[in-house]
Structure 1
């Protein structure tokens, strides 16, 4: 068998998954017993897996998720009011197809950011584009972008991803520029894309954080009315784990 020329041809065609599988199977003592169709099926399966893994790696790199979280690792035993049925339904991702939003609210330490990243990770695995942003840093980046010509490009990136995660919303009142930026982002995404927002503040306090009543009504209309709500409660999971560790 002309192993090396075949490998060269596969690599030249960019079929790197098939090339790796070909090399491995050809070196196996069972290779001669494989029918041609089984050989082909195996090579195609490895190529599909290789391409899927590369795309997933690229999506995760672009998403820049804060936590390495997965929906399979969610702890439903913690006393924080997490509705298991609702979260597992959200993990399926149909709300993203419907261009709905998700709001995760609750006190610090109950896992809002982690759960948001878990949903983001699942969306990446489902071949969707995702971008994670901490809201305080996002507004600072947008302010800088106004001065160096990146503002329009950054807004396009924020508006274009299928799932945008806005973490730590409401830590401080918005100024005029931040109100404008947030409305522009949500206006571009409304009815076209999905957004996850995490916040320590309950939704009924968001109007005060936004400040201007006209902007507040417009922002909340685009964000809240079609949102799935998860209102978490309880003590910080970090403090609970620390106490458990000390007891052990």
Structure 2
């Protein structure tokens, strides 16, 4: 029988580690901490994070043959300034025209559609023989649309059938093709829209609409009797556009008769004062082209049926 193994004493408990002294990790004011020092040292040594103009550290500098290759490549490409995009020589002119509502690359889509022109008439199709009082040089000058830049109005006055609406539509077409925002309406339609806007509470919106186009064409003033508030509406439109944008207006009544047309001589005088201040007035005289066409067709029919130009019996 083997002797009993002596009982070993239990192991001693581990000695507790002394607590680490508390340190303030927050650096003093004005002194960076150790981590910040290492961070700044890393940024300072990194060639991609150097300040502008700061030379590369010696370890990051390229070798001599690499630097020579870079110099040769730069010499072959020429000065760097030649690769920069040069500004357009007419950039300021194009910007100023764009602020005035003018485009430099033809009419924008929908400009002619917004103009609401009633006929496809053009200035090139106008027959000056029917209106000998119209100066072709003046019409060609108006076709350049320079009068719109100076907010000049154009008044076309004459009896029916002399081509007033034809000239108004032609000027509106030229303006729309040049990029100006153009709108064509009649005096009766303008009065009706303003009257309806006043009833529906949209007066301010309607005034902004008629004040928006660079060229507003008002046709057939004086053909139809206008209601009492039409004179006020027309005056409001003209007053808001005064010295800002242009108006082309046609009428079969002379300016002396506008008091009767509008039913208020005071409003008519104020309206004419603003329209005529900066305007071009064209007075058309002659025979109506519609009556001449009717007479020509009648003569052709007589000649075809009787063989003579004498009237039928």
User: Shorter-normalised TM-score: what interval?
Assistant: 0.7 to 0.9
Taking structure 2 as the reference length, what is the TM-score of the superposition?
A: 0.59
Alignment of 1:238 with 2:290, yes or no, is yes
- Aligned residue pairs, count: 197
Aligned residues: CA RMSD: 1.9
> 1:41-190, aligned counterparts within 5 Å?
55=108, 57-172=109-224, 174-190=226-242
Equivalent residues of 1:63, 1:132 under 8 A apart:
yes
Taking structure 1 as the reference length, what is the TM-score of the superposition?
A: 0.74
The 1-side partners of 2:221 and 2:175 are apart by: 21
Alignment of 1:229 with 2:250, yes or no, is no
Superposition deviation, residue 240 in structure 1: 1.0
The 1-side partners of 2:138 and 2:259 are apart by: 26
Superposition deviation, residue 245 in structure 1: 3.0
Unaligned stretches of 5+ residues in structure 2: 1-103, 301-313
Unaligned stretches of 5+ residues in structure 1: 1-50
Higher relative contact order (CA 8 A, sep 6+): 1
> For residues 210 and 90 of structure 1, do their structure 2 counterparts lie closer, same or farther at Cα, with a shift above 3 Å needed?
same
> For residues 246 and 73 of structure 1, do their structure 2 counterparts lie closer, same or farther at Cα, with a shift above 3 Å needed?
same
Rg: which structure is higher? 2
Q: Which moved more, 1:78-87 or 1:180-189?
A: 78-87
> For residues 208 and 123 of structure 1, do their structure 2 counterparts lie closer, same or farther at Cα, with a shift above 3 Å needed?
same
